[in-house]
């Protein structure tokens, strides 16, 4: 131990450690390579009796592959399916899967958040702020560690549920993804090792210099491994939705990359990375809100108020591009199979999509509502209070348009009174042009609200303040006009051009986001402060809004996961492996809603337990600290945001 006190040796040790972890990262790929070599060797002597078959997805030069596996089994009930009493096997698997996914997302998302926080902390010039960011990152990592063991337990439960209830399906999938599954398991070992080094090395490597950078690099590595793990898991669900690398009978054609790299793999990857980042921010914000509401001292309140704000901010950064990633995913779904897209958005599952739309609307309204409440702690914000109701009005009008379904639920009498399946006025809001317009307006309003939040306790003193204000006004007004105009124009042009219009609409929104916020920030440089931020003095309604935000995230994940899974209808693997269990039917919307709600409730109950555990150890830590430095000396967060 003594040798590690020598900074030079510690540096060398850290570099060696990083190198070893890096090398270990390559280990899992050895079996993959060996597997490929093995396959080649196996294929070589058997050249005479090689059977080639056509890939179900890939076209062109590589569309034929060597048959390297048995056809997909024709599953029979009850031989290939298991049951536990009178429970629906599908529902049991649903719960196991959803809970594992939630915690998996949590332990993937929190390190992402922690990485950014640690980096921000390191880049801070103010040492007090740097310490605050670092402490917050450390605190969240501690929470994540508890969640990590729960994830592992839930992973085990999931595997056993698969083996016990869906052995036929699981057998087929594991035959196809045999090499990947080993890599996946090995990567988990690495993930655990990196996580433990990262967490337990926190204080030791916190020298504010070289070792801290190494520590941050380990965080980067941890996130990389986590993301690669998620990509692997995504490849299986991608394969189930849009299989590739197999022939029509489901025989593996020898190229694992094709089975991994399916039509929907990358859209799913991008969507899930952003979704996880938003989810991470939401959960940390909920944790901070929980601690804020439970805080007994003004210092604690101030700390958790600040923490919830930072977490919410991070979540929103990921939330804003999320609809666009979702849009890309749906576009690819339509491109892959028209009927899949229609089943999702216009057909059988359209009502579940409305639920999802409702959640998205709640997310954006919650964020705005939180910011309005948060302005209560900013002296000078009163100037902007009259604007809130107009922002609310815009958000609500956009929400109404966003939530108007294309397929209406009605009695035959209502149908007759309406004169057809589509309403002549409301029907206009049920199509894509209206939806794109609504979501872009919602995002733009959120950006506008954030700009107001930024400046509400400041008065710009730059010479060009009036010009800057005019430019900001013109920017937001111009963007709104452009978004609405393009939305209306979309009704008069072909669908493929209409889809293309979403690009300039998104550009308007992103221009507001990047140029608007940058301009606003520049205007506030050296601005006259109307008062310090009164951290800890936000109304409890702001904390409830953040809870609502986090719960909406989880509910959205449940709904979208259900949609993604049930769009396969009666297929385990789309058009390859048929689901012949008694539960191959599509659930009624009410049942799906109840299952999702139950999953959300279960997750939050477990998560509150994790939060409580975190608070328990924090109490102990506070007591120790108080004993050491004297009570009531906790530092208040700096008066800045």
Q: Applying CB under 8 A, which residues contact another protein?
A: 331, 334-335, 337-340, 342-343, 346-348, 350-351, 365, 369, 372-373, 375-376, 382, 385-386, 388-389, 392-393, 396-397, 399-400, 403-428, 430-431, 433, 491, 493-497, 539, 541, 575, 586
Considering the complex, state which of residue 423 and residue 578 has its C-beta at the smaller distance from another protein: 423
Q: Which is nearer to another protein, 297 or 338 (CB)?
A: 338
The dihedral through the CA atoms of 573, 574, 580, 581 has a sign that is positive
Pairing of strands 64-66, 52-54: antiparallel
Least distance to another protein, CB of residue 452, Å:
12
Q: Is the peptide bond before 13 cis (omega within 30 degrees of 0)?
A: no
Rounded to a whole number of angstroms, the minimum distance from the CB of residue 328 to another protein is 13
Rounded Cα distance, 124 and 286, in Å: 25
The smaller minimum CB distance to another protein, of residues 20 and 493, is found at 493
- Is the CB of 206 or the CB of 407 nearer to another protein? 407
Cβ 264 to another protein shortest distance, Å:
14
CB of 362 to another protein, least distance (A): 9
Q: What tokens appear for 504 in the block?
A: 């300039």
Closer residue to another protein (CB): 497 or 621: 497
Q: Is the CB of residue 231 less than 8 Å from the CB of residue 247?
A: no
Distance CA 297, CA 302 (A): 9
The nearer residue to another protein, 456 or 600, going by C-beta atoms, is: 456
Lookup: tokens for 440? 């872009």
Separation between Cα atoms, residue 528 and residue 614, nearest integer Å: 39
Q: Which residue, 100 or 377, is less far from another protein as judged by CB? A: 377
Please, which residues have CB within 8 angstroms of residue 94's CB and are 6 or more apart in sequence?
A: 562, 595, 599
Closest approach of another protein to the CB of residue 237, in Å: 20
| H or E, element range at 263 | none
In the complex, minimum distance from the CB of residue 157 to another protein, in angstroms, rounded to a whole number: 33
DSSP state of 515: I
The tokens describing 582, both together, are 């008694």
DSSP collapsed to 3 states, 225-284? HHHHHHHHHHHHHHHHHCCCCECCCCCECCCHHHHHCCCCHHHHHHHHHHHHHHHHHHHH
For 179, the token pair is 């090499």
Taking the least distance from each CB to another protein, the nearer of 160 and 385 is: 385
- Which parts of 535-630 are beta strand (E)? 571-573, 577-578
Min CB(240)–another protein separation in Å: 17
Between 430 and 460, name the residue whose CB sits nearer to another protein: 430
CB of 631 to another protein, least distance (A): 31
Q: How far is the CB of 334 from another protein (least distance, A)?
A: 6
Is 253 exposed, middle or buried, given 0-12, 13-18 or 19+ CB atoms closer than 10 A?
buried
Kindly state the tokens that stand for 170: 């699981």
């Amino acid at each position: 131990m003594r040798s590690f006190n020598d900074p030079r040796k510690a540096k060398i040790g850290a570099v060696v450690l990083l190198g070893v972890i890096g090398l270990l990262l390559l280990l899992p790929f050895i079996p993959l390579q060996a597997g490929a070599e093995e396959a080649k060797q196996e294929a070589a002597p058997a050249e005479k009796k090689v059977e080639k078959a056509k890939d179900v997805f890939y076209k062109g030069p590589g569309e034929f592959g060597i048959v390297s596996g048995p056809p997909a089994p024709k599953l029979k009930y009850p031989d290939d399916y298991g049951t536990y009493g009178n429970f629906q096997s599908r529902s049991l698997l649903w719960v196991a899967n959803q809970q594992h996914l939630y915690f998996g997302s949590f332990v993937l998302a929190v390190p992402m958040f922690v990485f950014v926080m640690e980096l921000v902390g390191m880049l801070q010039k103010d040492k007090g702020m740097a310490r605050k960011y670092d402490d917050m990152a450390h605190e969240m990592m501690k929470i994540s560690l508890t969640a990590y063991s729960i994830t592992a337990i839930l992973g085990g439960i999931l595997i056993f549920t698969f083996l016990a209830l869906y052995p036929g399906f699981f057998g087929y999938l594991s035959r196809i993804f045999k090499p990947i599954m080993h890599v996946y398991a090995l990567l988990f070992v690495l993930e655990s090792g990196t996580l433990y080094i990262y967490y337990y090395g926190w204080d030791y490597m916190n020298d504010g210099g070289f070792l801290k950078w190494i520590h941050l690099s380990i965080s980067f590595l941890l996130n990389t491994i986590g993301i690669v793990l998620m990509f692997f898991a995504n490849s299986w669900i991608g394969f189930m939705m849009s299989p590739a690398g197999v022939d029509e009978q489901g025989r593996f054609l020898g190229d694992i990359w094709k089975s991994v790299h399916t039509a929907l793999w990358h859209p799913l990857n991008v969507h899930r990375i952003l979704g996880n980042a938003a989810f991470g921010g939401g959960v940390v914000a909920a944790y901070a809100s929980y601690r804020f509401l439970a805080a007994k001292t003004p210092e604690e309140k101030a700390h958790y108020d600040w923490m919830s704000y930072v977490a919410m901010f991070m979540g929103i950064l990921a939330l804003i591009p999320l609809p666009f990633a979702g849009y890309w995913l749906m576009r690819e779904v339509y491109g892959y199979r028209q009927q899949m897209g229609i089943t999702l958005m216009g057909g059988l599952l359209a009502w579940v999509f409305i639920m999802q739309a409702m959640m998205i609307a709640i997310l954006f309204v919650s964020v705005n509502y939180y910011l309005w409440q948060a302005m209560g702690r900013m002296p000078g914000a009163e100037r902007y209070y009259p604007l809130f109701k107009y922002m609310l009005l815009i958000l609500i009008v956009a929400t109404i348009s966003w939530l108007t379904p294309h397929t209406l639920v009605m009695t035959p009498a209502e149908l007759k009174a309406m004169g057809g399946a589509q309403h002549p006025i409301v029907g206009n809001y049920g199509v894509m042009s209206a939806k794109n317009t609504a979501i872009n307006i919602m995002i733009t309003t959120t950006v506008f609200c954030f700009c107001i939040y930024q400046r509400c306790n400041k008065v710009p003193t730059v010479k060009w303040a009036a010009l800057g204000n005019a430019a900001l006004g013109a920017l937001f007004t111009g963007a709104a006009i452009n978004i609405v105009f393009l939305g209306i124009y979309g009704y008069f042009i072909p669908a493929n051009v209409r889809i293309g219009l979403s690009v300039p609409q998104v550009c308007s929104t992103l221009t507001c986001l990047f140029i608007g916020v940058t301009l606003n920030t520049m205007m506030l440089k050296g601005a006259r402060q109307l008062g310090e931020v009164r951290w800890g003095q936000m109304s409890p309604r702001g904390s409830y809004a953040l809870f609502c935000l986090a719960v909406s995230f989880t509910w959205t994940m449940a709904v979208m996961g259900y949609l993604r899974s049930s769009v396969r209808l009666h297929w385990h693997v789309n058009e390859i492996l048929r689901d012949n269990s008694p539960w191959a039917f599509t659930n009624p919307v009410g049942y799906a809603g109840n299952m999702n709600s139950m999953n959300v409730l279960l997750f939050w109950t477990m998560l509150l337990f994790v939060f409580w555990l975190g608070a328990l150890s924090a109490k102990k830590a506070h007591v120790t600290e108080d004993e050491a430095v004297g009570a009531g000396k906790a530092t208040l967060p700096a008066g800045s945001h």
